[in-house]
Structure 1
Amino acid sequence: MIHKVVVAGVGMIPFTKPGASEPYHVMGEKATRQALADARVDFGAVHQAYIGYVYGDSTCGHRALYPVGMSGMPIVNVNNNCSTGSSALFLARQAVESGAADCVLALGFEQMAAGAIKAQFEDRPTPFEEFDRATAELVGHPELPLAIRYFGGAGKAHMDKYGTRLDTFAHIRAKASRHAANNPLALFRKEVSVEEVMNAPAVWPGVMTRLMACPPTCGAAAAVICSEAFAKKHGIDTRVWIRAQAMTTDFPSTFESHDMMRVVGFDMTRDAAEKVYKQAGIGPQDVNVVELHDCFAQNELITYEALGLCPEGGAEKFVLDGDNTYGGKVVTNPSGGLLSKGHPLGATGLAQCYELTHQLRGTAEQRQVPGARLALKHNLGLGGACVVTLYEAA
C-alpha cells in the first residue's frame, strides 16, 4: 500500500556568512524545533530521522538531535554533496510512503568555511576524478577553482551552442536579488542591477562574473513529513503533500557526450523531471512555482531547459521575456535561490522545501505566487545525484 505523504511542518533559520553562524548542532536543533512546532507534534511522535550535511564528522546529525530528544529512534546521516538535503527528504518520503514509519524528520545543516569549496581529504582519490578529467579536456583553465570550471564551462557550452549572451546570466542574477529582497531569511537582500552584475569582478573573463556565483553559506532547515492517516489522527495540517519525487544519478552520457552541460547534470535533471511528470500525470506547463539549483546563474539557465520549462536552446528568450518571474510563465526561485538566499550544502534542499510549502499554503507574504497549487523542486549535487520533487496544495 502506498501512503499519501503530507508535509506536516517546516523550519528554517536565517542563512549567514561563514564565521557569523552558530555551531552546526545549534542551527540544526533550532530548525528541528521550528519544524516540530509548525507541525504541532512532539519529538516523541517522530519515528525516524534523516540528517544531511557535507562538511562534518560522523554522526553530526545525532549531535544536533540529542538536545531535542533521545528517543532511541533510527537516525541516519546523509551526504550526497549539494543534493544532500533533498536526499534526506527522499529517504524520509520513502519511509512514510512505504508504511515503514508514520512520521519522519528530514534535517539539513551546514557550517561552511569561507572561500572556494575544496577537498577535505587529500590523502586519497577524489570522487571527482572523472569529472576533473572531462573538465580538463573540455575546459582547460587549471588556474580556476573547479566549481567555476564545471559550471562556467557548462555556461560557455550553452553560449557556444546557442549564442547565449553573458548578460542573460546577469538578468538571472538580478532577478534572484529582486526576489530575495522580500525574503527575511536570505543572506543577500540587496537588489543588484544587470549592469552591476556585469561590472562585478570577472572570475572567468567573458564567461562569469563574481556575482553570478552563489556564496558559501551556513544555515539549517528541516521538514516533518507524515502519512495522511497520521496527520488526520493528530490534527495536523494536510494542505501540502508530496505528489511525486525522483532521484537520479549519472548516466554514461555524463562523460561520453563530451558536453559540459551533461558533465554538470543536465541528463540527471531531465530524467528525474520526466519521471516526476509521468508519476503525477502533468507537464512542466502545469507548474506554478519552482525552486531550482542555481549554484551559478549559468546552471539556472541550463536547468530551465532540463526541467522542460522551455525548449532546449530557448532559455535566453525565456529569461529576456520575463517568463521566469512574477507575471511570467513560472516563478523561479521566489526565495532568491542559492544565488541570493545562500547555499549551505546540507540545508539547501530542505530550505527549498520550506519555501515551497509556504508558497502552497499561501503564507509566503510578499513573495507569494498568486494561486500557487503545483510547486517543483530541483536539487543537484555533482558526483552525482539529482532530486526532483513535486509538491501539491490539497
Structure 2
Amino acid sequence: MSKALIAGVGMVKFTKPGKSEEYDVLGAQAAIAALKDAGIDYRDVQQAYAGFVFGDTCSGQTALYSVGLTGIPIINVNNACATGSTALFLARQAVESGAIDVALAVGFDQMPSGALASNTSDRKATTARLDQAVASIQGWDDKAMQAAQYFGGAGREYMEKYGASADLFGRVSVKARDHARRNPFAMFTDPLSLEQVMSSPAIFGPLTRLMCCPPTCGGAAVLVVSDSYAKKKGLSNLVEIAGMALTTDTEASFNSGSMINVIGADAARRASAAVYEQAGIAPDDVDLVELHDCFSTNEIISYEALGLCPEGGAEKFVHDGDNTYGGKVVTNPSGGLLSKGHPLGATGLAQITELSWHLRGTAGERQVPNANIALQHNIGLGGACVVSVLKRA
C-alpha cells in the first residue's frame, strides 16, 4: 500500500447556466489547472476518472482529449451529487493499491436552468425507493420540487424533534454568503441578512429560496500521486488523503421513518466513523470542513451526522459561532454549495480543492489559521455518501 497524496488541484469559477463554456472546456480547463499546480505533465498520468451527471457516454474522453491523446484508461463516473468525490475515491484507490503512481480525477457539469429533474421519464426513477419512503413519512406533493421535499421535510422533522426554529437554517445561509465574499471562485458574494433569507419565497417546509443552492456550471480536478513518485519528482505542497469512505444506503434510509435518514444522515454517520478510524483522529481534531449544504437544512443535520456537535446540539453550535472563523471548526469557508454553487460532477472535487488550499496555507483572505486537518462530506441521493479526511503532508 502506498500513501495517496494530492499533488495538484484546480477549478474554474462556477457560473449560472447559459453563462459557461461547454462541458468539455470546463473539464479540460480544470484538469490543466491541476496539472500546472502540480508541475506534472499529462503524459505522466496513468489513469483518469471523469465525473459528470449531465452528459452523454464518454464525456470524459471528450474533455480530456484536448488535454492530451495518450491512450490511457479514462473511466466515466456518475454517482449523483457525489460524483466528483466518487471519481477521487477511485483515483485514490488505484494509487494506494500500488497499481499506478499518478491518477487524475476530474469533474464537470454544464447544468440546465431550473430545478433538478430526471431526463429518463420512460423508466423507473433511481430515487423510486426513496420517494416511496418520503410518501410514507410525510406524504407526496406533486406540485413541489422533489429535492425540496426531501430536504425541507428533513428540516421540518429536525425542528419538531429538537424544538429549533427556522431561523437556525437561515443563519446557515447568512454565514455561507459571509464566507463566499472572500472567495473569488464563488458565484454569489453579496452579503445576506437573516431577514432577507427568511423573507425570500417559501419553497417547502422551512426552506426559503435563499436556503437552496442554485443550478451551476463548472469544473474541478485533483491529481493524486504515490509517495514514492512524489519523492522521485521532488514534489512539494502535498496534502495526504488520510482517510476516505464511500457508503450507500441501508434499511435506515427507507424504513426508519425518519426524513433525516432519507437524506443521508445515516450514510454520513457510517462514512465519517470509518474515516476517523482510518485517519486516527476524532471529530474534535478537525480544523475545517467542506460539507454538502445543498440546502441549509442539510448543513445543520450534517453537523451532527459528522460528529462535529452532539445530536440536537446544532442550534447551540451555530449560536456560539463554532461553525465559523474563531469557532470550533470553520464550516464551508468557500461559501459552500449555497454560495459557491453546485455543478454536480465537480462539487466534490471543488471541495477537495478548497481544503487543499487551506492545508497548504494558500487560501488568501479566507485562510483558516493553523489548518492541519480537514474533513470533506459529499452526498448524492439514490445514493452515495463520500467522506474524506485530509492532512497537511
TM-score normalised over the length of structure 2: 0.99
How far apart, CA to CA, are the structure 1 residues paired with 2:138 and 2:226? 47
- Letter of the aligned partner of 1:352 in structure 2? Q
How far apart, CA to CA, are the structure 2 residues paired with 1:331 and 1:284? 13
How far apart, CA to CA, are the structure 2 residues paired with 1:281 and 1:42? 34
Deviation string, structure 1 residues 233-270 (Cα, Å, up to 9, x no partner): 11222531101111100011111101000001011000
Deviation string, structure 1 residues 83-110 (Cα, Å, up to 9, x no partner): 0000000000000000111000000000
- Letter of the aligned partner of 2:159 in structure 1? M
**Could you tell me which residue of structure 1 aligns to residue 70 of structure 2?**
71
TM-score normalised over the length of structure 1: 0.99
How far apart, CA to CA, are the structure 2 residues paired with 1:30 and 1:391? 24
SS of structure 1 residue aligned to 2:196: helix
Do residues 260 (structure 1) and 279 (structure 2) align?
no
Do residues 153 (structure 1) and 153 (structure 2) align?
yes
Q: Is the 8 A contact 2:186 2:335 kept in 1?
A: yes
- Letter of the aligned partner of 1:392 in structure 2? K
**Could you tell me which residue of structure 1 aligns to residue 307 of structure 2?**
308
* Structure 1 residue 150: Cα displacement: 0.4
Question: Which deviates the most, 236-245 or 369-378?
Answer: 236-245
Deviation string, structure 1 residues 104-148 (Cα, Å, up to 9, x no partner): 000000000000000111111111111111112222233210000
How far apart, CA to CA, are the structure 1 residues paired with 2:211 and 2:123? 32
Instruction: Note the 1:255-294 alignment, pairs <5 A.
Output: 255-294=254-293
How far apart, CA to CA, are the structure 2 residues paired with 1:73 and 1:25? 18
How far apart, CA to CA, are the structure 1 residues paired with 2:375 and 2:144? 33
* Structure 1 residue 202: Cα displacement: 1.0
Question: Which deviates the most, 195-204 or 208-217?
Answer: 195-204
Deviation string, structure 1 residues 301-357 (Cα, Å, up to 9, x no partner): 000000000001111111111100001100000000000000000000000011000
**Could you tell me which residue of structure 2 aligns to residue 319 of structure 1?**
318
How far apart, CA to CA, are the structure 2 residues paired with 1:238 and 1:37? 13
Do residues 144 (structure 1) and 181 (structure 2) align?
no
SS of structure 2 residue aligned to 1:347: helix
How far apart, CA to CA, are the structure 2 residues paired with 1:237 and 1:104? 17
How far apart, CA to CA, are the structure 2 residues paired with 1:289 and 1:210? 26
**Could you tell me which residue of structure 2 aligns to residue 7 of structure 1?**
6
Aligned length: 392
How far apart, CA to CA, are the structure 2 residues paired with 1:212 and 1:144? 16
SS of structure 2 residue aligned to 1:277: helix
SS of structure 2 residue aligned to 1:390: strand
Unmatched runs of 5 consecutive residues or more in structure 2? none
SS of structure 2 residue aligned to 1:379: strand
Do residues 237 (structure 1) and 268 (structure 2) align?
no
How far apart, CA to CA, are the structure 2 residues paired with 1:239 and 1:121? 42
- Letter of the aligned partner of 1:161 in structure 2? K
Aligned Cα root-mean-square deviation (Å): 0.8
Q: Is the 8 A contact 1:360 1:392 kept in 2?
A: yes
SS of structure 1 residue aligned to 2:9: strand
Instruction: Note the 1:80-91 alignment, pairs <5 A.
Output: 80-91=79-90
**Could you tell me which residue of structure 1 aligns to residue 52 of structure 2?**
53
Q: Is the 8 A contact 1:139 1:149 kept in 2?
A: no
**Could you tell me which residue of structure 2 aligns to residue 99 of structure 1?**
98
How far apart, CA to CA, are the structure 2 residues paired with 1:19 and 1:393? 38
SS of structure 2 residue aligned to 1:108: strand
* Structure 1 residue 207: Cα displacement: 1.1
How far apart, CA to CA, are the structure 1 residues paired with 2:119 and 2:234? 45
* Structure 1 residue 32: Cα displacement: 0.6
**Could you tell me which residue of structure 1 aligns to residue 340 of structure 2?**
341
Q: Is the 8 A contact 2:83 2:344 kept in 1?
A: yes
**Could you tell me which residue of structure 2 aligns to residue 251 of structure 1?**
250
- Letter of the aligned partner of 2:263 in structure 1? V
- Letter of the aligned partner of 2:157 in structure 1? A
SS of structure 2 residue aligned to 1:346: helix
How far apart, CA to CA, are the structure 1 residues paired with 2:250 and 2:257? 13
How far apart, CA to CA, are the structure 1 residues paired with 2:137 and 2:22? 39
How far apart, CA to CA, are the structure 1 residues paired with 2:358 and 2:17? 28
How far apart, CA to CA, are the structure 2 residues paired with 1:358 and 1:260? 35
Do residues 186 (structure 1) and 186 (structure 2) align?
yes
* Structure 1 residue 156: Cα displacement: 0.7
SS of structure 2 residue aligned to 1:91: helix
SS of structure 2 residue aligned to 1:94: helix
- Letter of the aligned partner of 1:376 in structure 2? L
Do residues 117 (structure 1) and 134 (structure 2) align?
no
Unmatched runs of 5 consecutive residues or more in structure 1? none
